[in-house]
Amino acid sequence: MLSQAVSVKINPLSPSAPLFPAASHPKPRQGFCRQTMRTLRWFFLLGILSFCAVPKPAVAQTGVGMHLYAGITITGVVNCVYAIQTTTDLSNPNSWQDLAIITLPSSPYLYFDTQNPACGNRFYRAVLQLVMTNMIYISPGTFTMGSPTNEVGRYADEDQHTVVLTRGFYIGKYPVRQAEYLAIMGNNPSYFTPANGYPECTLNCPVETVSWHDATNYCGKFTRQELAAGRLAPGWQYRLPTEAEWEYACRAGTTTRFSYGDDPDYSNLAAYAWYKSNSSVVTHTVGYLKANPWGLYDMHGNVCEWCQDWYGEYPTGTVTDPQGPTSGVAHRVIRGGNYFSYPGSYCRSAQRANLAATNTRKDTGFRIVLAPL
């Protein structure tokens, strides 16, 4: 649920009135572009002030040894996370691009754009991120997807290749819970419920018995609801992760079989994943076991998770922002282990599976991503 009250001043040519009024459920202001054009001023940083820790800009020094930077003054909530965004086209609401994600250290706070040459037609805004309690921001990056040929338990469809993800995204800390699905969709299709004889399986267990279409419909309805309530910035959406995003988030910077290490005898798997050896063959409350290094729970077990992609062979070489095959396939990707997985190799970071988009299984749920369109 992106973007709420933010008080911002733009220090080159552009503004900012708050993107939204300060309210618990704000709605976008009209006339933002006119307000944005109002208060922009240029800041000069002396090149000799090295203690300011300002990187050298991509503009020439002036005769007096000064550099020209565009900047934005943010008046907001200290220790909250803000997306610094920029555009050169105020007429296009979808043109805003993330420049940086920062934790506000003080208020007001002056942020300088040292990545772009200073110019009179670049505009800035700061968007308060309201997703941090149940979502984690994943920075752009490059990683090796798949498994090496000598990895124990690997399958032939896990050929290693380099993936470049150029845009950051938010991903749920947990798979979507039954309570969340019920609140958005008005029904709970899950098999593991007290009504079906599983008193331990509460609404805090992951939703399952959902098809790929059910999962994407949830994302679409959730997006529309949050946009209408003013809790989501225009140009953003909830969706399923791509397969590459899912594995990148699962690995969390690791190259081992699991996000916590290779674990050849599976002696540590039960601390991170619900699988057949410790689950009693039922789902469990999300977030009960240990998280991976990036703070994500249940990536190796509990329920498998739908991804956005059609299933197919991996590409070779280096690929950028892969979306999976575009045609010629019948099944969608599912990733991660589940409560019935055995042996533990089925819970590995590189493990892949697939299922027809219309099918449902009581071991398959999903988690969501929040990202720009």
Strand order in the sheet with 161-165: 141-145, 161-165, 318-320
Spell out the alpha helix ranges (H) of the chain.
Answer: 32-36, 178-185, 212-228, 243-251
Q: CB of 210 within 8 A of CB of 181? A: yes
Q: CB of 82 within 8 A of CB of 111? A: no
Check residue 328 and give left, alpha or beta (phi > 0: left; psi -120 to 50: alpha). Answer: left
Residue extent(s) of CATH 3.90.1580.10 domains in the chain: 135-372
pLDDT by position in tens, the chain (length 373): 444 333 333 333 332 333 332 333 333 333 333 333 333 333 222 222 222 233 333 333 434 455 677 889 988 766 666 888 888 888 887 788 888 888 788 889 999 888 776 666 888 898 876 554 688 889 999 999 999 999 999 999 999 999 999 999 999 999 999 999 999 999 999 999 999 999 999 999 999 999 999 999 999 999 999 888 877 878 889 999 999 999 999 999 999 999 999 999 999 999 999 999 999 999 999 999 999 999 999 999 999 999 999 999 999 999 999 999 987 678 999 999 999 999 899 999 999 999 999 999 999 999 999 998 8
Pair of tokens at residue 372:
């720009």
List the CATH code of the domain at 135-372: 3.90.1580.10
Three-state DSSP class for residue 345: helix
Report the C-alpha gap between 132 and 130 in whole angstroms: 6
Radius of gyration (Cα) for the chain, nearest Å?
23
- Look at residues 73, 78, 86, 139 and name the one whose alpha carbon lies nearest to residue 112: 73
Q: CB of 221 within 8 A of CB of 368? A: no
Cis-peptide into 15, omega within 30 deg: no
The four Cα atoms 250, 256, 258, 260 give a dihedral, to 10 degrees, of -90
Q: DSSP letters of 73-102?
A: EEE--TT-EEEEEEES-TT-TT--EEEEEE
Report the C-alpha gap between 328 and 294 in whole angstroms: 35
Q: CB of 301 within 8 A of CB of 341? A: yes
Report the C-alpha gap between 77 and 3 in whole angstroms: 13
